[in-house]
Amino acid sequence: MSRIILHIDLNTFFVRCEEIKNPLLEGKPVAVGGVGRGGIVSTCSYKAREYGIHSGMPMFQAQMLCKNLIVIPCDFHNYELYSREFIHYVRTYTSLVEQTSVDECFADFTNVYYQYGNNNIDEFLKEFQIGLFNKTKLKCSIGVAPTKFLAKMGSDMKKPNGITIIRKKDIPSKIFPLPIKTFFGIGKKTYPILEEIGIKTIGDLYYGIKSQRDDVNGIIGSFSTSIISELEGNSSFKINTAPSDPKSIGTTSTFEENSDDSEFILSFMIQQTKSILKELHKAKKLTKTIQLTYKNAKFDEESCQFKVKQFSKTLMNPTNNDDTIIEAVRNLFKETYNGQLIRMSGVCFQNLTDAKDAKIQMTFDDFENDDSIDKTHDIIESLNREINKKMFFRASELKDEDLFKNGSK
């Protein structure tokens, strides 16, 4: 029995959430993202796309393309609520759901379709789309295939509100003619290189690898085997329902105004750090590597993007100690920030390990410090025993001023 794997992609999700809140926005050019010259387009409506606007574009450039563009700042709390409603609705059909981002997921509909389907997969999925809209007012496009890769490719083919079914036999006719840049997994830096050597379509890539072209394999390298598996319909269909185990935790934020004020930027990054520390503690993780990101305020015309620089520092031992991590961020900032005008900063904790599994090798200095603490503790306890009252404390044990008021003056 062939698997029925869906990739469900919410159409212009952030914009749609704003349209639900304000129906007067429907059918108008809308961009959601950073407000002002330093902003970036996160999502835009299909009407805005008619003007050449797209995600990742500087907001000032989008406003130049469309003079009557409606710009709305992101409301992530609201989007998260709608995302939960979306996933909850999908799970009313099947428990085999793998959420891959706030607005998309994979789902295995094999059993539910064969049990409740009406022998017409298009009608069955159209009912799913209508049900999602009636329940949440969200709209989606769906790709259906025997593998996750093909389902993902299918969901991009008919937007908005499309349903695309791809069977193994359909791969040469539906996938091979597509431009190479549409191949899920090939990045923006790789596809132009492939085009330069004549690989214009996905089919060109497939036959280039199969014929063992040296120039193609030189670019694709070790990924050639998995690409062939994907393009022959033999890649994974397994839905990962387990909660993801993060390998890194981070955040990036665009400033309201570009800045080269080192005190402001450092203060901003410390606040970012404190926010991520909450996530680190919640996930019960330790970090060993701190990474800082700076996005230059000067738009690079040649690459059509703002240049980003990243710097990292690896600590001696994994830690979740707030003071240690904040101090590491301060030091790394002082070492790497050179006074440039920037528009965005980011902080990321990498090389995460589970706190309960961490085994830290104590250095000689750590051992001496730890030994000193133990000796201090023994002396204090001995004094308290002599007077039969807890009168003496280490400063670190004083949690509030009341402790001083209760006889430890």
What the block records as the tokens of 23 is 């129906």
Q: Which residues, including other chains, have CB under 8 Å from residue 297's CB and lie 6 or more apart? A: 38, 258, 306, 340, 341, 342, 343
Fold annotation for 1-166 = Alpha-Beta Plaits (3.30.70)
Residues 133 and 8: beta-carbon distance below 8 Å: no
Question: What backbone torsions phi and psi does residue 374 show, to the nearest 5 degrees?
Answer: -65, -40
Of 40-44, 48-52, 230-234, 390-394, which gets the smallest average pLDDT? 390-394
> What does CATH list as the number for 168-235?
1.10.150
What is the set of active-site residues?
Answer: 104
Residues 275 and 348: beta-carbon distance below 8 Å: no
Out of 32-46, 113-127, 322-336, 386-400, the most confident range is 322-336
Say how far residue 67 (Cα) sits from the centre of its chain.
31
Say which amino acid occupies 271: Q
Percent of the chain with pLDDT over 70: 83
Q: Is the peptide bond before 58 cis (omega within 30 degrees of 0)?
A: no
Of 4-8, 162-166, 243-247, which gets the smallest average pLDDT? 243-247
Say how far residue 373 (Cα) sits from the centre of its chain.
42
pLDDT higher at 216 or 38: 216
Position 103 confidence tier, pLDDT thresholds 50, 70, 90: very high
Q: The pTM is what?
A: 0.64
Tell me: pLDDT of 329 over 80: yes
Mean pLDDT of the chain: 84
Closest CA to 45 of 10, 69, 18, 12: 12
168-235 shares the fold of 1-166: no
Position 176 confidence tier, pLDDT thresholds 50, 70, 90: very high
> What does CATH list as the number for 248-357?
3.30.1490.100
Position 69 confidence tier, pLDDT thresholds 50, 70, 90: very high
Cα gap 365→235, rounded to integer Å: 52
- How confident is the model over 344-399, as pLDDT tens digits? 899 999 989 888 765 444 344 444 444 444 455 456 555 655 555 556 555 544 43
Q: Where are the domains of the chain?
A: 1-166, 168-235, 248-357, 364-405
Question: What backbone torsions phi and psi does residue 7 show, to the nearest 5 degrees?
Answer: -115, 115
